């Protein structure tokens, strides 16, 4: 027998990379849950705030026309507090923090000066964005697309890099004695641009979003602020950074392109304006040429929701809010923003700038927060679903890398799904007669098949990869405690399907695993080689998820495990040139030589948190791999350099 257990890598078809995953929750389901989520959201009152003292707070409450929205106001203060706390998590932010406090003081001083002078505090007309002179959306364009505008909740904001923005925002008030021109303010404000389209109010039926649309100050900011179109603002991206352009949309007269970036996962696709892509003419041309040929639009994995933020902005937001344990966005509601905005309603120049900049900051953050919330919800849903199917071990789902939802473009299964005409027997012709847990080797299954005993007394595998494993089966007289029953008892290893930094979804262990311990079976559809070739040719399966059942005969094997449409978590196990799992062929109740189980065992001790990996190409020549030109990203010292 050979040790040929291999990925289906000898078929000469192009590989489709990654998962074409879109999560399938209907808008209704999602919206009602989000609605519930928002309703359930408990906003606790905070006793201290870095932005406002209690006395100032109550003064504002008393003078504000927002009296009836005290809750929203409190929430705004809490949110600001949360934001400052999360901002503080970042190294080197001490200075910024002290500036925040400075700013608060200066803001308070200005407020009281304004109040003392009985100046035009609370003037609503002053809510117009200070950068409105840079407006570049013509009214015509706006009107032309007004349907777009009303049918969707369009939030548009312009912002600088968050840290820079926060600092410059704070500087504007704390730079007392330094002259700052309006021009330079505008420049820093308009460095990045975002258009954020969340699903329509009708779809979401969410009071908080209706609030955004109905709040005249936010509306005013949205419609009159510096929004889109100034192509000089963002430097054009280097074309070598771009993988491909996959979609386009016109919003308020400006065309946006959805870009898949090289070395960034699909969950990080961003919408970019033509101005940022003008150096990438060839790529744009290719996109336009292929556009009409596409059968099915390659949608943004973020559930078709258009998140129109430049890469600059989205990376900045992620950087700003990334913590060790994930993306920790401040808990903000649109009411919070409005409350905050109104609480700062003092007509002085500086506070006006502060107000506008806080909007520029909070609007993208809130929508990102919304998307994140929805993403987390969907990941959780999927986690629950797959744990219902898998009863043996606990599987977690985690994405702290980007905004992609669950990779549920396949059905989660716990058993092989054979093609219609393939029969996987469940009636072994023979079993052992061992009385007590197979202690008499001669008559036991493995001896009868001429093989070594595969497992030790702890049920850890002890034979080398390539050695066939025959477990005791249903005809055997021994109990389930028999040390020759392992794979059939199911996986006992708890794992997490998670988004890796560079290789898409992966699997990590959430517990320590002993060397030799059984981890899981690779399962999927069992199809014939011919069917597999047809599917690959017609683009109906992805070679990424197929394994050959070629243990018995590497040249003339009959069956393929296709994990494209039906699979378990092992579908997400990535390749490593120095892998920690080995693959074995194991026979249990079906003794057809062409139909073993593929079982993954730890080839060394693995500690909780480590990524689980297999070597897809253990028997493929290094030079053959090089020809593929696809870089391996396993990051191992002994990496072959190429993948496939």
Dump the DSSP string for 335-352: HHHHHHHHHT---SHHHH
Q: Does 17 participate in binding ligand SAM (rule CB under 6 A)?
A: yes
Minimum CB distance to ligand SAM smaller for 64 or for 578: 578
**Among the listed residues 503, 517, 579, 597, the single contact to ligand SAM using CB under 6 A:** 503
Minimum CB distance to ligand SAM smaller for 250 or for 540: 540
**Among the listed residues 59, 180, 453, 633, the single contact to ligand SAM using CB under 6 A:** 633
- Site stretch for ligand SAM (CB under 6 A), options 67-75, 297-305, 412-420, 627-635: 627-635
Q: Does 565 participate in binding ligand SAM (rule CB under 6 A)?
A: no
| Minimum CB distance to ligand SAM, residue 355 (Å) | 43
Minimum CB distance to ligand SAM smaller for 301 or for 504: 504
Name the strands in the sheet holding 242-251, side by side, starting at the edge strand that comes first in the sequence.
242-251, 254-261, 270-273
Dump the DSSP string for 381-449: HHHHHHHHH--SS-EEEE--SSS-----SSEE-SS-EE-TT-------S-----SSTT--GGGSHHHHT
**Among the listed residues 545, 551, 566, 601, the single contact to ligand SAM using CB under 6 A:** 545
- Site stretch for ligand SAM (CB under 6 A), options 11-19, 24-32, 514-522, 593-601: 11-19
Minimum CB distance to ligand SAM smaller for 320 or for 399: 399
Picking from 506, 492, 508, 434, the residue whose alpha carbon sits closest to that of residue 460 is: 492
Q: Does 575 participate in binding ligand SAM (rule CB under 6 A)?
A: yes
By beta carbon distance, the residue nearest ligand SAM is 504
| Minimum CB distance to ligand SAM, residue 11 (Å) | 14
Minimum CB distance to ligand SAM smaller for 211 or for 644: 644
Q: Count the helices and strands in the chain (H runs, E runs).
A: 19, 24
- Site stretch for ligand SAM (CB under 6 A), options 17-25, 54-62, 124-132, 308-316: 17-25
Minimum CB distance to ligand SAM smaller for 232 or for 638: 638
The angle subtended at Cα 518 by Cα 517 and Cα 519, nearest 5°, is: 110
Q: Does 572 participate in binding ligand SAM (rule CB under 6 A)?
A: yes
Q: Does 87 participate in binding ligand SAM (rule CB under 6 A)?
A: no
**Among the listed residues 410, 585, 632, 642, the single contact to ligand SAM using CB under 6 A:** 632
What single DSSP character describes residue 152?
T
What does R_g of the chain's alpha carbons equal in angstroms?
30
Picking from 173, 321, 182, 311, the residue whose alpha carbon sits closest to that of residue 237 is: 311
The whole-angstrom separation of Cα 248 and Cα 259 is 9
The three-state DSSP-derived secondary structure of 515-574 is: CCCEEEEECCEEEEHHHHHHHHHCCCCCHHHEEECCCCCCCCCCEEEECCCEECHHHHCE
Q: Does 331 participate in binding ligand SAM (rule CB under 6 A)?
A: no
Minimum CB distance to ligand SAM smaller for 369 or for 504: 504
**C-beta separation of 205 from 343 below 8 A:** no
The whole-angstrom separation of Cα 194 and Cα 83 is 20
What single DSSP character describes residue 611?
B
Size of interface with ligand SAM, in residues (CB under 6 A)? 19
- Site stretch for ligand SAM (CB under 6 A), options 16-24, 82-90, 196-204, 393-401: 16-24
Minimum CB distance to ligand SAM smaller for 477 or for 633: 633
The whole-angstrom separation of Cα 426 and Cα 18 is 34
**Among the listed residues 505, 522, 569, 587, the single contact to ligand SAM using CB under 6 A:** 505
The whole-angstrom separation of Cα 21 and Cα 28 is 20
Minimum CB distance to ligand SAM smaller for 369 or for 563: 563
Q: Does 18 participate in binding ligand SAM (rule CB under 6 A)?
A: yes
**C-beta separation of 624 from 643 below 8 A:** no
The whole-angstrom separation of Cα 110 and Cα 105 is 8
* Gap between the terminal Cα atoms of the chain: 25
| Minimum CB distance to ligand SAM, residue 9 (Å) | 11
Minimum CB distance to ligand SAM smaller for 491 or for 611: 611
The angle subtended at Cα 40 by Cα 323 and Cα 394, nearest 5°, is: 55
Q: What is the dihedral of CA 492, 496, 501, 506, to 10 degrees?
A: 50
| Minimum CB distance to ligand SAM, residue 372 (Å) | 20
| Minimum CB distance to ligand SAM, residue 636 (Å) | 9
Minimum CB distance to ligand SAM smaller for 492 or for 633: 633
Minimum CB distance to ligand SAM smaller for 237 or for 505: 505
Dump the DSSP string for 76-98: HHHHHHHHHHHHHTSTT-HHHHH
Minimum CB distance to ligand SAM smaller for 211 or for 572: 572
**Among the listed residues 504, 516, 524, 596, the single contact to ligand SAM using CB under 6 A:** 504
379 phi and psi angles, rounded to 5 deg: -65, -40
**Among the listed residues 19, 34, 497, 549, the single contact to ligand SAM using CB under 6 A:** 19
Residue count (the chain) = 644
- Site stretch for ligand SAM (CB under 6 A), options 266-274, 362-370, 584-592, 632-640: 632-640
Minimum CB distance to ligand SAM smaller for 287 or for 642: 642
| Minimum CB distance to ligand SAM, residue 266 (Å) | 9
Contact track, ligand SAM, 594-623, x by CB under 6 A: ------------------------------
Give the SS3 label for residue 191: coil
| Minimum CB distance to ligand SAM, residue 442 (Å) | 41
The whole-angstrom separation of Cα 148 and Cα 145 is 5
**C-beta separation of 510 from 464 below 8 A:** no
The whole-angstrom separation of Cα 403 and Cα 23 is 12
Q: Pairing between strand 254-261 and 242-251? A: antiparallel
Q: Does 397 participate in binding ligand SAM (rule CB under 6 A)?
A: no
Give the SS3 label for residue 507: strand
**Among the listed residues 185, 189, 402, 544, the single contact to ligand SAM using CB under 6 A:** 544
Q: Does 634 participate in binding ligand SAM (rule CB under 6 A)?
A: yes
**Among the listed residues 9, 574, 582, 611, the single contact to ligand SAM using CB under 6 A:** 574
- The site for ligand SAM (CB under 6 A) is made up of 15, 17-19, 503-506, 544-545, 571-572, 574-576, 632-634, 643
């Amino acid at each position: 027998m050979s040790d040929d257990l291999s990925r289906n890598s000898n078929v000469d078809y192009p590989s489709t990379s990654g998962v074409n995953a879109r999560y399938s929750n209907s808008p209704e389901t999602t919206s009602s849950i989000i609605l519930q989520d928002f309703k359930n959201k408990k906003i606790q009152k905070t006793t201290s705030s870095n932005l406002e003292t209690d006395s100032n707070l109550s003064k504002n409450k008393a003078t504000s026309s927002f009296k009836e929205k005290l809750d929203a106001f409190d929430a705004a203060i809490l949110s600001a507090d949360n934001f400052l706390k999360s901002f503080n998590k970042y190294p080197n932010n001490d200075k910024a923090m002290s500036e925040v406090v400075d700013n608060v003081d200066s803001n308070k001083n200005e407020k009281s000066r304004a109040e003392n002078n009985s100046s035009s505090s609370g003037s609503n007309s002053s809510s117009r964005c200070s950068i409105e002179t840079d407006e570049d959306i013509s009214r015509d364009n706006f009107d032309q697309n007004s349907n777009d505008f009303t049918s969707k909740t369009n939030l548009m904001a312009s912002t600088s890099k968050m840290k820079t923005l926060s600092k410059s925002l704070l500087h504007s008030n704390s730079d007392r004695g330094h002259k700052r021109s309006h021009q330079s303010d505008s420049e820093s404000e308009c460095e990045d641009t975002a258009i954020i389209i969340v699903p329509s109010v009708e779809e979401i039926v969410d009071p908080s979003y209706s609030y955004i649309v109905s709040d005249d100050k936010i509306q005013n900011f949205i419609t009159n602020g510096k929004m889109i179109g100034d192509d000089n603002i963002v430097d054009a991206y280097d074309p070598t950074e771009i993988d491909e352009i996959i979609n386009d949309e016109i919003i308020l007269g400006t065309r946006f392109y959805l870009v898949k970036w090289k070395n960034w996962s699909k969950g990080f696709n961003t919408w970019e304006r033509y101005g940022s892509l003008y150096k990438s003419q060839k790529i744009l041309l290719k996109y336009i040429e292929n556009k009409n040929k596409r059968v099915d639009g390659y949608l943004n994995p973020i559930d078709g929701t258009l998140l129109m933020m430049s890469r600059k902005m989205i990376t900045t937001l992620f950087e700003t809010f990334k913590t060790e344990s994930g993306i920790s966005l401040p808990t903000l509601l649109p009411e919070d923003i409005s409350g905050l905005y109104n609480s700062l309603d003092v007509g002085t120049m500086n506070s006006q700038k502060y107000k506008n900049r806080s909007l520029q900051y909070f609007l993208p953050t809130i929508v990102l927060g919304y998307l994140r919330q929805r993403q987390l919800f969907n990941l959780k849903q999927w986690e629950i679903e797959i744990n219902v199917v898998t009863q043996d071990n606990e599987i977690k789902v985690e994405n702290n890398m980007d905004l992609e939802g669950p990779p549920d473009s396949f059905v989660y299964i716990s058993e092989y799904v054979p093609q219609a005409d393939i029969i996987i027997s469940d009636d072994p012709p023979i079993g052992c007669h061992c009385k007590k847990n197979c202690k008499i080797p001669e008559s036991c299954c493995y001896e009868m098949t001429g093989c070594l005993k595969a497992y030790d007394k702890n049920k850890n595998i002890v034979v080398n990869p390539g050695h066939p494993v025959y477990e005791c089966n249903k005809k055997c007289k021994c109990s389930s405690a028999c040390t020759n029953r392992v794979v059939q008892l199911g996986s006992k290893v708890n794992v997490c399907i998670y988004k890796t930094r560079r290789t898409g979804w992966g699997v990590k262990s959430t517990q320590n695993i002993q060397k030799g311990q059984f981890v899981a079976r690779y399962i999927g559809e069992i199809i014939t080689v011919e069917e597999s070739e047809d599917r690959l040719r017609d683009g109906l399966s992805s070679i990424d998820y197929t394994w050959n059942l070629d243990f018995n005969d590497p040249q003339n094997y009959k069956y393929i495990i296709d994990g494209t449409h039906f699979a378990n978590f092992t579908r997400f196990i990535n390749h490593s040139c120095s892998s920690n799992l080995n693959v074995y062929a194991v026979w249990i109740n079906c003794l057809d030589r062409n139909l073993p189980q593929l079982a993954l065992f730890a080839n060394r001790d693995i500690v909780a948190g480590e990524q689980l990996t297999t070597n897809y190409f253990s028997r493929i020549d290094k030079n053959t791999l090089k020809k593929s030109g696809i870089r391996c990203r396993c990051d191992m010292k002994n990496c072959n350099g190429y993948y496939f």
